[in-house]
A and B are shown apart, each in its own frame.
Chain A
Amino acid sequence: MQQIINFLIRYKIFLLYLFLLFISLIFTFQSHSYHQSKFLNSANYFTGNIYEFFDNTTSYFGLREENESLLEENERLRHQLYNRKTNLTNTPAPIDSLEKNYTLVRGRVIKNSFSDLRNYITINKGRKDSIEQDMGVITAKGILGIIENTSEGFATVQSILNEKSNINAKIKNSNHFGSLVWDTKNYNTVQLVDIPRLVPLTIGDTIVTGAMSSIFPENIPIGTIKKFDLDKSKSFYYIDVSLFNDMTNLNNVYIIKNLKRQEILELQEETLSNDQ
């Protein structure tokens, strides 16, 4: 017994070091495979308020460009609105489906990151604005990511520039869908995989979100095809998609809530459990 205590006293610093290292390694490896930790993220009261304060003071510098991009968006939406009657016959306007199934909340990015392997964005809307995990986040130009954690007033978003990100996407005006992933190399480019090789592709084709996801509405723009190649199995394409969004310069975002998501998930679960 004496010897054990002596041992502990002699190596107490080493043991303390091992203990602290062990704690941090557990957190790290959890985050590699699993969701971001529930408590240790920048959406808490303390860090959120510091980031918001900093953002409030710096956001004035970009107001002119921000106005410009909001005007552009308004222009596009008005264009859609005024031309709605004429193309009502061929395609239903996306506005209609948005009204029924989705609600939007606007928010602002207070912390952005794009240089890590697992990038998270913090926004200034949280539980009190009824933001929950697994809601989609978009900007006027295209998709941004999925809500990962929320606190009372803030939320973190798992950016599409995250090696854990996996979003259903398809080629516009076709129904060939694949998964949107990121190879961590370039913040302007993401990858679309699992598109079968028989699909005709052209460089410059637009990639949009697919209908398989219960998070994003269909047909939200993502980017255009930059280059494509066959993957190792020679039966699927590996497509580089250059993003519409400038991921280094984000300000205003919209958070999308799918009102039917609960219903969809319950139905899928029921089907699966009936199967077994």
Chain B
Amino acid sequence: MINSSFFINILRFTLLILVQVLVFNRLNFFGYINPMVYVLFIYWYPIKENRTSFIIISFLLGFFIDIFSDTLALNAASTVSIAYLRPTIMRFVFGVNYEFQSFKLNSTTKAQQFTFLALLIVIHHVIYFTLEIFSIANILLIVQKTLTIGLASIILCLLFSSLFSTKKE
């Protein structure tokens, strides 16, 4: 059981990086919208796993995307932040339920899943574009990019998560 979830995670890790850098980074919808679907890794990652390894793996995920897209450590910083914040977000979205041993992402309502995913993506994008643009004078640009690209990411992540929904877990 541990082995299978381990391999699934490695597979997800590699596939999400490749899909992100080879397909979605070249999308350039309306000239600048490149949705970031690799956030799904944080969304899908097993809840009961060791937090230390989760944070390190998330850092590596962002780091690999950075090397591919020449963004230095923007993706690493934002991914490691949402990985750290994930338990807080989950407690906020799912309430006390999430502390129980029997808690599963699939057993929650669609609205809860959507809020969880949307919060992850919004926080990720805010950190990402604040660091990328890094000036108060361009705060409108930050807001605009976060909203448009965030919306695209949410739509695509929802499509992907319903396409590859994990019924077994």
Q: Which A residues between 1 and 56 are near B, CB-CB below 8 angstroms?
A: 12-14, 16-17, 20-21, 23-28, 30-32, 36-37, 40-42, 44, 46-47, 50-51, 54
Check A238 for interface membership: any CB of B closer than 8 A.
Answer: no
Distance in Å: Cβ of A1 to nearest Cβ of chain B = 23
Check B72 for interface membership: any CB of A closer than 8 A.
Answer: yes
Q: A36-B70, A118-B71 are in contact. List 4 more A-B contacts (CB 8 A).
A: A40-B72, A40-B73, A113-B70, A156-B70
Q: Which A residues between 189 and 221 are near B, CB-CB below 8 angstroms?
A: none
Q: Are A17 and B77 in contact (CB under 8 A)?
A: no
One of B66, B84, B132 near A40 (C-beta < 8 A): B66
Sort A-B residue pairs by CB-CB distance and give the 8 closest, nearest first: A24-B73, A27-B73, A24-B77, A120-B70, A115-B32, A17-B84, A31-B72, A24-B76
A50 proximity list for chain B (CB < 8 A): 18, 22, 68
Tell which of A54, A116, A186 has the most Cβ of chain B within 10 Å.
A116
B71 proximity list for chain A (CB < 8 A): 116, 118
Q: Are B67 and A17 in contact (CB under 8 A)?
A: no
Q: Are B80 and A44 in contact (CB under 8 A)?
A: no
Check B95 for interface membership: any CB of A closer than 8 A.
Answer: no
Q: Complex formed: what's the CA distance from A156 to B70 in Å?
A: 9
Q: Are A32 and B31 in contact (CB under 8 A)?
A: no
Q: Are A42 and B68 in contact (CB under 8 A)?
A: yes
One of A16, A28, A120 near B74 (C-beta < 8 A): A28
Q: Are A248 and B73 in contact (CB under 8 A)?
A: no
A115 proximity list for chain B (CB < 8 A): 28, 31-34
A120 proximity list for chain B (CB < 8 A): 70
Q: Are B77 and A28 in contact (CB under 8 A)?
A: yes
One of B70, B84, B132, B133 near A13 (C-beta < 8 A): B84
Q: Are A113 and B80 in contact (CB under 8 A)?
A: no
Q: Which residues of B contact A (CB under 8 A)?
A: 18, 22, 25-26, 28, 31-34, 51-52, 55-56, 59, 62-63, 66-74, 76-77, 80-81, 83-84, 131-134
One of B51, B73, B83, B133 near A23 (C-beta < 8 A): B73
Q: Complex formed: what's the CA distance from A24 to B68 in Å?
A: 15
Distance in Å: Cβ of A246 to nearest Cβ of chain B = 12
Q: Mind listing 15 A-B residue pairs with CB under 8 Å?
A: A14-B84, A17-B81, A17-B84, A21-B80, A21-B81, A23-B73, A24-B59, A24-B63, A31-B73, A40-B73, A42-B69, A46-B67, A51-B68, A111-B68, A112-B26
Distance in Å: Cβ of B24 to nearest Cβ of chain A = 11
Q: Are A28 and B81 in contact (CB under 8 A)?
A: no
Known: A31-B72, A44-B67. A16 touches B28 (CB 8 A): no
B81 proximity list for chain A (CB < 8 A): 17, 21
Distance in Å: Cβ of B8 to nearest Cβ of chain A = 22
Distance in Å: Cβ of A143 to nearest Cβ of chain B = 19
Check A117 for interface membership: any CB of B closer than 8 A.
Answer: yes
A248 proximity list for chain B (CB < 8 A): 28
Check A187 for interface membership: any CB of B closer than 8 A.
Answer: yes
Q: Complex formed: what's the CA distance from A37 to B67 in Å?
A: 10
Q: Are A41 and B67 in contact (CB under 8 A)?
A: yes
Q: Are B80 and A20 in contact (CB under 8 A)?
A: yes
Residue of chain A at shortest CB distance from B134: A32
Check A102 for interface membership: any CB of B closer than 8 A.
Answer: no
Q: Are A54 and B134 in contact (CB under 8 A)?
A: no
One of A20, A21, A47, A54 near B67 (C-beta < 8 A): A47
Distance in Å: Cβ of B48 to nearest Cβ of chain A = 15
Check A114 for interface membership: any CB of B closer than 8 A.
Answer: yes
Tell which of B33, B51, B59, B133 has the most Cβ of chain A within 10 Å.
B59
B31 proximity list for chain A (CB < 8 A): 114-115, 186-187
Distance in Å: Cβ of A72 to nearest Cβ of chain B = 25
